[in-house]
Chain A
Amino acid sequence: MATYIVRRLLQGIVVLLAVSLVCFWLFRYTGDPVRMLAGKYATQEEQEQVRKAYGLDRPMAVQYFSFLGGALKGDFGKSYISQIDALDTILERFPATFELALVAICFSFSMGVGLGVVVAIRPNGWLSRTIMAGSLFGISIPTFLIGILLVMLFSVYLNILPPFGRGDTVQLGFWRTGLLTASGWQHILLPALTLSGYQLAVLLRLTRAGMRETLGEEYIKTAWAKGLSPAKVILKHALRNVLIPVVTIAGLSFGELIAYSIVTETIFQWPGMGNLLLTSIFETDQPVIVTYIMLAAFIILFINIVVDLLYALLNPRIRYD
């Protein structure tokens, strides 16, 4: 197990290095940093000064290692637009995105797994057929369209939920939360529903497939024969074993969650990292874009490794060597 952990960590570091190399290359060859820093109307002389001041006249390898050294210390440079530290700019928005993702995951898990169990128990009932037909629609509607349709229904026509923003927030130390106020909860409902959409249908289908397989196993028959209550057989004996692969796959598709958070935050003007990324793309604010990519890569790799290890811990039949 220990060797496996070390190997996974080493692999993770290699991938991060590769990502940093690509980022550095993007940073230097798409858009001219000198022109961004010195301004469009800078003279040749001013441009030379900027080039020297920021060390952009040094050889590429040297620049890469100084970029890497900075990155290790959390220094990714300053935003071209606001002149504020790029990492600080992004981290300031982290709580908003985190809370949105958390509520969305809770939605998709409770509904996806719950409906999946219902469908697996009675595969031919009318309820199951309706749910499965709904899930086909679920995977056929892109996230951005779900968001807009929800806004049209709940904000424009019914006028019961706010269509944008985060509502009232409370500052707790470094963390600004919207989950402690009524207005915060009102504001998070629609975006979280939107973000949970893509995962809900996937979780439903996975749970259904896993449950149908497991319910036919010998140990489930034994549990029925023992005279256990249906709730105990289904939830305790069957679902627990089905959940392991379901959680694993959900964890491994964390990149999608980040991707769709960009879409969701754009629609609802949610003040999170994804919204910031898109603004930075339109303003060609390279340091912020690069920092976002590195941070996203780090989070995704971290979660992948944690999920792999949890999978091994939860399922004693799996031992990595």
Chain B
Amino acid sequence: MTERLQKILTSRRMHNFLRDPSALVGSAILVVFLVAAILAPRIAPMDPYDLASVDLNNYLLAPAWMEGGQGAFPLGTDDQGRGIFSTMLFGLRTSLIVGFSVVAIASVMGITLGMMGAYYGGVLDAFIMRAADTVFAFSTTLLAVLLLGVFETRGLFTVIFAICIADWVKYARTIRGSVLEIKDNAYVLAAKASGAGDGRILFKHILPNALPPIFVVMAIDLAVVIMLEATLSFLGVGVPLTEPSLGMMIAIGKNYIYAGMWWLVVFPGATLILMVVGINLFADWLREELNPKL
């Protein structure tokens, strides 16, 4: 174990990573937000979705350092008396849960379909790729809005489901390109000649070599999905009112910008932007490092 760790720490990639300021800043931001989201119940001053701890009398308070602010609510409160800082920490959880779940599920969906299409070809490939083209033409955002618009019930699960339906395409297209390049290589033919089954060839010989571009797509997609979740919740078709979300916080804050209460929008907005910038910085580095043609 320690030997492996040593190997990773002294590898060329690690060396490059430690020397690239934007990669370091990006991953530092991501780690801080991940820790904050995981520890949210412990570090948040209050649980904004526990009715017993919310007091309506504390509605629309200014941040603690401004006039009318209270120490208990460092960044002020919203129109329900929920602390902005606490709600943001719980909202980060929603963002990251949706982000990582969608990337995990959609990538498995897309990789499976794209790989099968490229490997077997024929009608299966044509069908999968036409479906992918159609979904791509509609765009992830439009499809997710329309799907959630017609769903009867909305919740964290439906949001993840709708985004996955709209999002698998980019993985399928990327992996298909790589598999088409790889599948006629000598080592694949050798594996075939030695009598390996399709499953073994696909997962042992082709998939590992087709993955690097997928890692880059995953990193970029994490940022895209997090923004999409915020957008859906902002529009009111995302997570329900009973779940915390950065997008919904901004939607509430939007009603009060004329009253000069900028903090309702600026704090959750800055958190969202910072998180996405962090992920994109890391993704940029990953793209340069793995250098796939994207």
B137 touches A262 (CB 8 A): no
B231 touches A140 (CB 8 A): no
- A112 to chain B minimum Cβ distance, whole angstroms, is 18
B141, B142, B223, most chain A CB atoms within 10 A: B142
Q: Any chain B CB within 8 A of the CB of A149?
A: yes
Answer whether A26 and B150 are a contact pair too, CB < 8 Å, given A140-B276, A297-B138.
Answer: yes
Q: Any chain B CB within 8 A of the CB of A31?
A: yes
A148 touches B231 (CB 8 A): no
B277 touches A136 (CB 8 A): yes
B134 touches A18 (CB 8 A): yes
Cα separation A151 to B257 with both chains bound (whole Å): 9
Q: Which of B98-106, B175-183, B191-199, B234-242 contacts A (4 or more CB under 8 A)?
A: B234-242
Answer whether A15 and B139 are a contact pair too, CB < 8 Å, given A144-B231, A263-B235.
Answer: no
Answer whether A152 and B262 are a contact pair too, CB < 8 Å, given A15-B134, A137-B277.
Answer: yes
Contacts of A141 in B (CB 8 A): 273, 276
Answer whether A148 and B257 are a contact pair too, CB < 8 Å, given A253-B139, A289-B149, A304-B137.
Answer: yes
Answer whether A11 and B223 are a contact pair too, CB < 8 Å, given A136-B281, A152-B262, A304-B137.
Answer: no
B130 touches A148 (CB 8 A): no
Q: Any chain A CB within 8 A of the CB of B66?
A: no
Q: Any chain A CB within 8 A of the CB of B96?
A: no
A256 touches B236 (CB 8 A): no
Contacts of A252 in B (CB 8 A): 136-137
Answer whether A148 and B265 are a contact pair too, CB < 8 Å, given A26-B150, A156-B258, A256-B142.
Answer: yes
B138 touches A139 (CB 8 A): no
Q: Any chain A CB within 8 A of the CB of B272?
A: yes
Cα separation A277 to B150 with both chains bound (whole Å): 11
Q: From A303, which residue of chain B is reached at the shortest CB distance?
A: B137
Q: Any chain A CB within 8 A of the CB of B13?
A: no
A259 interface neighbour in B139, B237, B254, B273, Cβ under 8 Å? B139
Q: From B148, which residue of chain A is reached at the shortest CB distance?
A: A281
Binding site for A on B (CB under 8 A): 130, 134, 136-139, 141-142, 145-146, 149-152, 223, 227-228, 230-231, 234-237, 247, 250, 254, 257-258, 260, 262, 265, 269, 272-273, 276-277, 280-281, 284
Answer whether A293 and B272 are a contact pair too, CB < 8 Å, given A148-B257, A255-B137, A304-B137.
Answer: no
- B164 to chain A minimum Cβ distance, whole angstroms, is 17
Q: Any chain B CB within 8 A of the CB of A145?
A: yes
A140 touches B237 (CB 8 A): no
Q: Any chain B CB within 8 A of the CB of A207?
A: no
A258, A262, A282, A297, most chain B CB atoms within 10 A: A262
Cα separation A31 to B149 with both chains bound (whole Å): 12
Cα separation A296 to B280 with both chains bound (whole Å): 31
B276 touches A152 (CB 8 A): no
A145 touches B280 (CB 8 A): no
The size of the chain A interface, using a CB distance under 8 A, is 44
Q: Which 7 pairs across A and B sit closest by C-beta, in order of nearness? A: A255-B139, A259-B142, A259-B141, A281-B149, A142-B227, A140-B276, A256-B139
Cα separation A278 to B142 with both chains bound (whole Å): 12
B137 touches A281 (CB 8 A): no
Report 27 cross-chain contacts, Cβ distance below 8 Å, ordered by A residue: A15-B134, A19-B134, A30-B150, A30-B152, A31-B152, A136-B281, A140-B227, A140-B273, A140-B280, A141-B276, A142-B228, A144-B250, A145-B250, A145-B269, A148-B250, A149-B265, A152-B257, A252-B137, A255-B137, A258-B139, A259-B142, A259-B145, A266-B235, A267-B254, A281-B237, A289-B149, A300-B137
B150 touches A289 (CB 8 A): yes
Contacts of A149 in B (CB 8 A): 265, 269
Contacts of B281 in A (CB 8 A): 136
B138 touches A300 (CB 8 A): yes
B235 touches A258 (CB 8 A): no
Contacts of B152 in A (CB 8 A): 30-31
Q: Any chain B CB within 8 A of the CB of A107?
A: no
Which of chain A's residues 259-279 have a Cβ closer than 8 Å to chain B?
Answer: 259-260, 262-263, 266-267, 277-278
B269 touches A293 (CB 8 A): no
- B126 to chain A minimum Cβ distance, whole angstroms, is 11
Contacts of B247 in A (CB 8 A): 144
Cα separation A263 to B284 with both chains bound (whole Å): 27
A145 touches B272 (CB 8 A): yes
Cα separation A301 to B260 with both chains bound (whole Å): 44
Which of chain A's residues 274-299 have a Cβ closer than 8 Å to chain B?
Answer: 277-278, 281-282, 289, 293, 296-297
- A80 to chain B minimum Cβ distance, whole angstroms, is 14
Cα separation A31 to B150 with both chains bound (whole Å): 9
Q: Any chain B CB within 8 A of the CB of A143?
A: yes
Contacts of B227 in A (CB 8 A): 140, 142
Which of chain A's residues 99-144 have a Cβ closer than 8 Å to chain B?
Answer: 136-137, 139-144
Contacts of B146 in A (CB 8 A): 289, 293
Q: From B152, which residue of chain A is reached at the shortest CB distance?
A: A30
Contacts of B137 in A (CB 8 A): 252, 254-255, 300-301, 304
